Amino acid sequence: MSSHPSRFVGSARILAICTFCSRITGLVRDMVMNYVFGQNWVQDAFNYGFIIPNLFRRLFGEGALSAVFVPVFTQVLDQKGRPAAWLLLGRITGLMALALSVIVLLLELGAFLIAIFAENVSPLHLGLTAVMAPFMMGVCLVALFSSILNCVNHFTVPALLPIVLNAMIVIGALVVGPFLGTNDEEIVYGVGYCVLAASVLQLLIILPVLRNQGIRFRLSLDRSDPDVRRILAMFIPVVLGQGVLLFNAFFDTQICTSLTQAPNGPASFSMFGSEIAYPLQSGALSAMNNAARLYQFPLGVLAISLATAAFPMFSLFASRKDFDGLKRSVAQALRLAIFVGAPSGVILMILGRPFVVLLFEHGRFGPAESARAADILIWYGLGMTAYCCQHILLRGFYSLGDVMTPMKVSCILVVVNLATTLSFIWYMQERVFGMSTAITSFLHVCVSVYLLRSRLGGRIGATEILASALKTCVATAAAGCCAWFAYDKLSSMAMEAMAKIVRDGILVFVPLGLAAIAFFVVGLLLRMEEFSWLFKRDKKSAVD
């Protein structure tokens, strides 16, 4: 593996292209789900049932286990060779499969216990949770194997695998669900069964790729390996450290479900002898989910692709004690995160409503539903730059083997997020989830930059980062002005004679195109280095 500090940029380009393809299919999936079910309590129930196994997938696969496993695996691969690395992989895979089996059983039991205490969690919520719980076993293993392929510079197949899940959800909503029944409650179970099948298909696809890359391993439950014990010792702190990114979404889901008035249910609930009105209406969770999908599109394509590609490089520098190289790579990644995050966030804030209308306002999804999702999206867009930087900073800590610092920061900020949400939910309704997420993320970035700077022994290129951020802000302001002006003028024009899809497309793509041109022109005039990093071919950056 090359240790050139800008090597990960080429990997990020490949990963971003593949992720873009998978995110497009994700938008198609969401369009189909909204078309079939609308933004109502049935889709709320599906999102509730999916959030728990999806949380564990992100924790065990993409989150905590990946964060502790990749640095150790990279070090073993670099210093001890492939046989030792494959042996470590077999042991971790075996222990992970055992742990996931136990968690699935506990989750199935917990689904029934929740029904006793949470009156707003319906049998449909619990039934879908039970159906989709085993999904996390296969998909967590897929995420682990994807991390291994990333370590050996193969990014394409792992980045494309989410397409399988997206396609299966579409098949579930349009084919399997209608085969099972005619009402929404029956159809949505077909989607749940297809989610479960998707994890099996993903395993069947990725295992041959591992073999083609020369990766061989045998399952083992041996915990005597010092590297295995090191991974296990770091795992719990990293789980807690991922809290600001993952647990907040989980808690938001629980709060949203608990404080949403049930269909045909009472308008208030009793607490300490007082009657308190429910602040949320049916469809709140789906509105939050739809808004989250749209901000996660640029986040996944641009920022997470960048962070995923950079993480093995960070880990390699750290294992070789090359802290100068690590500082340069972290600074470069942060500059790129701001470069892609700032304009993405501003565009989501300005064009959020037309984006929602174009993608989702079909079938049973109407203008009122568009307004609810767009109002949340504005707040998510406000925090976009912070979301992008978070992923870089966390991987900076984890590459150093420092799992305690992110854990402490995240535990505090989870409390801040909960306090903010509960304090304002009766005033802002579902919009509060976007606001609290944005506030928490900005606090996380500020604290993490300060602590990572100390952890790396001082300067990490703050002057260069700030200078680059200022140029990005100027280019972003130009892009935002162009987008706002174009949308304002177009929306006032008479276009009733056009087909709705054409009119909606014009209101999105014309302002978006003008904003992109303005950003590129101003950025080039300011001679921003980020353009050359992203768009010039570097032979040292070639990856599979």
- Please give the pLDDT value at position 176: 92
User: How high is the pLDDT of residue 264?
Assistant: 72
Q: What percent of the chain shows pLDDT beyond 90? A: 18
**Least confidently predicted of 18-32, 106-120, 243-257, 304-318:** 106-120
> Angle between the 384-399 and 284-298 helix axes, to the nearest 10 degrees?
70
- Contact present, 425 and 260 (Cβ < 8 Å): no
Confidence of residue 247 (pLDDT cuts 50, 70, 90): low
- Range 245-254 average pLDDT: 73
pLDDT per position as a tens digit, 11-62: 666 777 777 888 888 888 988 988 888 877 788 888 888 877 777 766 665 5
The Cα–Cα gap between 257 and 48 comes to 8
pLDDT, residue 118, reads 55
- Is 302 a residue whose pLDDT tops 90? no
Q: Is the pLDDT of residue 284 over 70?
A: yes
Q: Strands, DSSP E only, in 466-530? A: none
Between the ranges 71-85, 126-140, 214-228, 336-350, where is the mean pLDDT highest?
336-350
- Are 335 and 375 a contacting pair, CB within 8 Å? no
Q: Tens digits of per-residue pLDDT, 129-183?
A: 788 888 888 888 888 888 888 777 777 888 788 899 999 999 999 999 999 888 8
Per the model's pLDDT, the better-predicted residue between 472 and 116 turns out to be 472
Reported confidence tier of residue 246, pLDDT bands at 50, 70, 90? low
Among the ranges given (248-252, 281-285, 342-346, 538-542), the one the predictor scored with the smallest mean pLDDT: 538-542
Q: 293 lies in a domain? A: yes
pLDDT higher than 80, residue 521:
yes
**Domain range enclosing 502:** 7-260+280-539
Q: Would residue 269 count as lying in a domain?
A: no
Listed in sequence order, the DSSP H helices in 225-366 are 226-241, 243-258, 284-298, 305-319, 323-360
Q: Token pair for residue 324?
A: 């100068």
Distance CA 231, CA 236 (A): 10
Confidence class for position 266, pLDDT limits 50, 70, 90: confident
| Residue 2 lies inside a defined structural domain of this protein | no
Q: In which band, very low, low, confident or very high, does the pLDDT at 3 lie, cut at 50, 70 and 90?
A: very low
The total of structural domains in the chain comes to: 1
**Per-residue exposure over 342-363, b if at least 16 CB sit within 10 Å of its own CB, e if not:** bbbbbbbbbbbbbbbbbbbbbe
Q: What is the pLDDT of residues 109-140, one digit of tens each?
A: 766 565 555 555 667 777 787 888 888 888 88
> Quick one: pLDDT at residue 119?
55
Which amino acid belongs to residue 22?
S
- Domain assignment of residue 265, yes or no: no
Task: Give the confidence band of 480 by pLDDT, cuts at 50, 70, 90.
Answer: very high
pLDDT band at 323 (very low <50, low <70, confident <90, very high): confident
Phi and psi angles of residue 280, each rounded to the nearest 5 degrees, phi first: -120, 150
The answer, yes or no, to whether residue 360 has pLDDT greater than 70, is: yes
Point out which residues pair with 346 in neighbouring strands.
Answer: none
State the average pLDDT over residues 469-478: 93
**Structure-token match 């009105």, residue found:** 277
CA distance 159 to 14: 9
Euclidean distance between CA atoms 198 and 57, whole angstroms: 13
**Per-residue pLDDT tens over the stretch 378-411:** 999 998 999 888 888 888 888 887 777 887 888 8
The model's pTM: 0.75
Residue 522: per-residue pLDDT: 92
Residue 147 lies in a domain: yes
Mean pLDDT of 276-293: 86
Predicted local confidence at residue 254, as pLDDT: 80
Q: Indicate whether 272 belongs to any domain.
A: no
Q: Which residue has the tokens 């208030």?
A: 268
Please indicate whether residue 356 or residue 19 has the higher confidence score (pLDDT): 356
pLDDT of 509 strictly over 70: yes
Predicted confidence at residue 343, as pLDDT, reads 93
Distance CA 93, CA 106 (A): 20
